[in-house]
Structure formats: C-alpha cells, structure tokens
Structure 1
C-alpha cells in the first residue's frame, strides 16, 4: 500500500532528468533560500521598496541572481535553463501567490549578456548578481500586448544618446526596479524590423511610475511606466538598431518553458495542500478523501500533473539540444497553464468554504494562477501560433 510520503508530490521529482548536478544544486539553493529568508514572513514584506530591495540583496548573497552572467564578468556562466528551475521553485513556495513573479525577472539578464557591450555588462552585472540592481522588462503597452509590432514607444537618436518617449504597462517589478529593458521603435515605417532594445536606468529624469493593483499577488510590484524625453546613452542599445525582434524571439521559447514550469509548480503545491486537507477534513463521519468523488478528482489532478511534467521534461531536453521550436514551446506553455488552472480550480472546490478564505493559501494560489494564461502569450495567441504551423 502507498504511504503518505508516496502520495505527496515532492519538488525533487522535477529533477529526475533532464537537469545536471549543477542545476540540481541551484534548485536546492533556491529552495533553501525561500524557506529560510522568504516564507517565514512573506506577508510582512509587502510592497515597500526598501523591504523589497533588502530581499533582493539577500537573494544575491544566496547566489540565485544573475546566474547567466559569464565567468569573465564574475558570474556563474549558467545557461537559460536555470530560469526554469528558479521559476518552478518560486511557484512551489507559499510565498509566490503573495509576492508575485519577483526574482523570475532574472531571465532578463540574458538580454544584457547577449546584446550588451563588454563595458555595459561590466557596469551592470555586479549589481544584478548582488541584488543591488532589480531588473524589469518593458514590452507590453496599453495598445500592444502580444502584438509587439504595434508598440508606440519611440527612440530617436540625438548625438550620443537616444531620446525615448512613450510608456509601458503590466511591468513586473516596475514599481521597484532600477533598470528596464525597453523595446522602442527606432524606425516607425519598418514594423518589426524597426524595433530596438535599450537598457534604461529607471532613475533617469523623465521616468514616472504608477503602481497597479492586481487581482492576485497582493504583495507584488506590477506597474505602469511613462517615459517623457528620457535620455539613454547610445551605448545602452542592446544589439543592433532594429534587432529587438530577433533578440526577443531568441528568448521566447525559454520564457514560455519557464512559465510552464511555474504553472506546474503551482499545480503541485495546490495538490499537496489539498491532499493533506482531504485527509484531515471530516464530513458525515469520515475523511473527505475516503469519498469516491474526492478520489476520482484527485486521480484526475494527479494525471494532469504527471502528463504536464513529462511534457516539460521533453521541452527542456529539446531546448538544451537547440532543437526546441516556437510552436512546441507555445504548446508547452498552453497545456501547462491550462492544466494548472484546472487542477487548482478542483483543489479549491475540495476545500469548500475554507478555500474562499484569504487565510487559506489555496485562495491566493487560485487568484495568482489566473495570470499564467495571459502573460508570456495569451492562450489565444499561443493557439494562433501553433495553428500557423499546421
């Protein structure tokens, strides 16, 4: 007969393969940091800028930030798959549904490493690794979400600087970030080929911010940014002028795989909490786990989680081999985000009235999970992308 330990999904199961020993060690480091530094008081961290910066500095000291910075700049030289582990571990933590995406914006370090000059990397990498510098990525606008070509923010060359005007919305960490990787049009007539990527210091003159209240992540830092004649050094252009689309496409598969891992982590956490609750909660003289309806629901959830994990493993293997396609990464993110939603909805139902209470973690997990079907490509956009390859 299975024991209680056998029934509860352990986070280590994510790492049967295809992860290396070094990647497993990175996951253990993140997990230990979250348990030691974040989970005991995540409700008290809130959205205070000083508290968030202190948290990032502690994350830097723990060695979980800027892991893709090359060794010659003092980094670990890790690959993009480490962002999958970071995203998964954060989602497996009770703190995620309150604090939001937080450290997962570290994926943006790859934009600096891939497109920045040696001078630019040398300037910003130490602060990124130490947690002194919080990153954000500015792509979405009010009239341009998944349709990147519709971006209206402009960047006009003026001597040794670019003058940027416009704004960005739904920016993770935008309320507290120090820098932002901003996509802007340098050629209004060239559509996608007219988009360029800049590293902007958000402490520059002309930058204003507005914090946005969200349905989930009560302690998160989502914001709207406005740029009024913000001057950015020409050396802060990442890659070639007009090359933003190529740079973004190169990281798109990685982003969607790491969001899929986050969806899986949330589903696993919700399942664990629900299975434990079903064993303890009694109704009509017996534990609710002993009702056939409960068992059937849990069986369906377990199956969806297992299928999703297998799908994620396959995409990680393909990404490592350099054969991951945009269509497959879209399918991975689509399936895992929607399967996660089904699992968590079923979990909340088994909690009954307690599931509707904010003091019960499943209620925040439920609210936080909803955005996974929206960012990094809505489910509708992903289906469109997949269909184009048929």
Structure 2
C-alpha cells in the first residue's frame, strides 16, 4: 500500500481514518464497482455500511454524533476514497458528506438537525446539493430558480441540472432566488424527495462517474413550509460560499488519491510489460515521465493539505485552495493521460481500469468551480 499520503498534518487519528477508508473501498467497493457502473448507482446498503462505521460524520460536531474534525480530515478521507479507482462512488459519498452535508450542519436549526442528522449520519438519508442550473454553474449568483413567499411557506419554480445523488437521493439542499432585486438574494431550502411538484426529469448519461446518479430536477409549483428554510432568508449565497473551499478541496483530494492509484497501477504494469529485450520500465522516456508525474502529485497533495490546514486555523484560504484546485485537477488529468499512454492498446479498452479512471478524471477541472474560475479567484487576490 502506498504511504505517500503521509504529511506534516497527519495525526494518529487521521492515519487510522485513512487506513480504514482504504480498507473499506478495497473490500466493499472495488469488487462491485463494475456492476455499479453498469447500474448507474451506488447501492444504498453501501452508504449504510459506511454510516455504521462512522465514516459519514467526520465533520459533524461531537454533540450531534460525529467526530467534530476539520478540513484536514476531509482531505484525508477524500484522498483515501480516491484509491477506489471508481470516482463515481467517491463523488456520491463526498457530495453527501462534504458538499451537501455541511449546509445542514452549519445552518440547520435545532429542529432540523434533530429531524435529519441521525439518518444522514447512518446513511439512511442520502443528500444532494441543488445549485447548478442549465444557465448557472460556477456562477451561483446567476441561478433562476425562484422561491416566492406564499402564506406560511414558499412557492418554488425552476430547474436544476448535473445534480449528483439527485435521482436516488432522499433530500436536496436547494438554492433558490428569493430576492429578485438582489443577485445575491438566495435562500437555501431542505427539499425532501417525493415533495409534490418535485420530479426527476432526466437521469443524465455521463462520460465518466458512471456509478454516480446525476439528475436534471424540475420544480413545478413546489410548496415548502417556512420550517424548510435552511439558514437565513436571502443569505444562502453567502452560506454557500462558506463551504466552497471544502467542496473544491475534496474534489482535489479524490483526484490525488486516484492519480496516486493510477501511478501505482501503471508502475506495476510497465515493470512487467516486456519490450525491446527488457521491460517498459527500462525506457528512459517512461521512467522520467513517471517520476515527474509522481513529483507533480506530491506537490498537489502538499498544497491541498496546507490549504486545508489554513482553513482549520481560521486563516483565509481562498487563494490557496482555488490555486490548488486549478493546478491539481489539471495535473490529475495529465497523469491519467500518461498512465493510459503507457498501458498502450489495453489502456484504450473498456476492460482496463485506467481507461475508466481517465474518463472519470475529466470532470475534475469543471466541477466545483472550473479551472478558469479558480484562476480568476487567484488573480483577484494576486493582482
């Protein structure tokens, strides 16, 4: 097992979390991943198993049944998940734990936490985050879904798209425009599956992440009571921004874990593949590029953990995390490109692990803030 995940920010507790997660995915994910890819979903039982092991509550305060850990723990968890080689599984879990879950933990009322958090931690209630729309992805302020006050509740209309866990999940953390005169006047809502007027219009067919379900959601005159408002009315944009660095980080984390797995897999392959009277690993061009890829992954890993540590210290880490998101997700794709190349023809076959991993990696520079948007975040703070 690779030990390259170890770094200055590791503790015995984090090391145990990493090892537990790697062991879990090797036993509970890798043997079944191909079937999940074909089915287009991660079985609910897998979430329940993770819940029973306490894996879904790393960032949940201890008083609410979690471990009360910080961003470095999420970095560790996401990197360990990435070793699964099935990024669709990683994405389904991390949307639940680190993209949607923090909204409930950070903004939920005592009543909402009591009602939902136990089943979220156990894996009975699977979460999705409903922000992206056909015309608004990285530009959160550009969403068009509207919520209008209606009696002791809200009437909501709109469309969401590219929503991971949206097909089979149980509750969507929904963003809707509640103040039409203010582009940042957004409110977050708890939207349970099965609510009248709320439907899955389409299960999307994706290039990669095949075992995560991704939905287009339609809200047609959905009515939600005031008790479904999550956090403060009109302040949802700012509440969303609070979790963006964490969302970016876990995408880098799962990418780093996958890139390391790809390097390990490819190193083993080139050492055993006969070529030109020796093995592929004897060729200088391959040795040099593999070494450079490892150096790049090591650098991204270090940058990610440092940015996470800054966040845990209460230090503004937007520039650091945006930079590592931009660089890291591009590096992951560069690594996958080379690893598939060094597998030769078998790397292009659907039966090979590296073919799937290469497809899965392509979304990383897009999701959670596109590379171009991340670079603008760095530039604003640099220039």
- The two structures have a TM-score, normalised by structure 2, of 0.94
Residues 239 and 388 of structure 1, relative CA distance in 2, 3 Å threshold: same
Q: Per-residue deviation at 1:25?
A: 2.1
Q: Deviations over 1:125-175 (max 9, x none)?
A: 111011100000011000011111110001112222212110110011111
Unaligned 5+ runs, structure 1: 1-8
Supply the distance in 2 between the matched residues of 1:347 and 1:183 (Cα, whole angstroms).
39
Match of 1:236 in 2: 228
The reply to whether residue 104 of structure 1 matches residue 94 of structure 2 is: yes
The reply to whether residue 200 of structure 1 matches residue 191 of structure 2 is: yes
Q: Deviations over 1:8-57 (max 9, x none)?
A: x71x4323331332222222222222122222222223475996212211
Q: Per-residue deviation at 1:80?
A: 3.9
The reply to whether residue 42 of structure 1 matches residue 23 of structure 2 is: no
Query: Secondary structure in 1 aligned to 2:8?
Result: coil
The reply to whether residue 262 of structure 1 matches residue 244 of structure 2 is: no
Select which of 92, 110, 135 maps to 1:118.
110
Match of 1:298 in 2: 290
Contact 2:78 2:90 in 1 (8 A): no
Query: Secondary structure in 2 aligned to 1:204?
Result: coil
Query: Secondary structure in 2 aligned to 1:180?
Result: strand
Q: Deviations over 1:335-357 (max 9, x none)?
A: 11111111111111111101101
Unaligned 5+ runs, structure 2: none
Match of 1:273 in 2: 265
Supply the distance in 2 between the matched residues of 1:186 and 1:126 (Cα, whole angstroms).
29
Q: Per-residue deviation at 1:368?
A: 0.3
The 5 Å alignment of 1:288-367 reads 288-367=280-359
**Larger mean Cα displacement after TM superposition, 42-51 or 228-237:** 42-51
The reply to whether residue 381 of structure 1 matches residue 373 of structure 2 is: yes
Match of 1:138 in 2: 130
Contact 1:69 1:77 in 2 (8 A): yes
Contact 1:207 1:230 in 2 (8 A): yes
- The two structures have a TM-score, normalised by structure 1, of 0.93
Residues 292 and 348 of structure 1, relative CA distance in 2, 3 Å threshold: same
Q: Per-residue deviation at 1:68?
A: 2.6
Match of 1:83 in 2: 74
Residues 246 and 30 of structure 1, relative CA distance in 2, 3 Å threshold: same
Residues 60 and 49 of structure 1, relative CA distance in 2, 3 Å threshold: farther
**Larger mean Cα displacement after TM superposition, 148-157 or 44-53:** 44-53
Residues 343 and 86 of structure 1, relative CA distance in 2, 3 Å threshold: same
The reply to whether residue 22 of structure 1 matches residue 13 of structure 2 is: yes
Q: Per-residue deviation at 1:70?
A: 2.5
The reply to whether residue 66 of structure 1 matches residue 57 of structure 2 is: yes
Structure 1 runs (4+) greater than 4 angstroms displaced: 46-51
**Larger mean Cα displacement after TM superposition, 65-74 or 318-327:** 65-74
Residues 90 and 110 of structure 1, relative CA distance in 2, 3 Å threshold: same
Supply the distance in 1 between the matched residues of 2:128 and 2:235 (Cα, whole angstroms).
19
Contact 1:67 1:129 in 2 (8 A): no
Contact 1:66 1:109 in 2 (8 A): no
Supply the distance in 2 between the matched residues of 1:180 and 1:298 (Cα, whole angstroms).
41
Supply the distance in 2 between the matched residues of 1:45 and 1:261 (Cα, whole angstroms).
22
Select which of 165, 173, 196 maps to 1:173.
165
Supply the distance in 2 between the matched residues of 1:118 and 1:48 (Cα, whole angstroms).
37
Match of 1:284 in 2: 276
Q: Deviations over 1:291-327 (max 9, x none)?
A: 1111111121122112212212321221221113212
Residues 331 and 263 of structure 1, relative CA distance in 2, 3 Å threshold: same
Number of aligned residue pairs: 379
Contact 1:116 1:236 in 2 (8 A): no
Supply the distance in 1 between the matched residues of 2:315 and 2:192 (Cα, whole angstroms).
35
Query: Secondary structure in 2 aligned to 1:341?
Result: helix
Supply the distance in 2 between the matched residues of 1:277 and 1:316 (Cα, whole angstroms).
33
Contact 2:40 2:210 in 1 (8 A): no
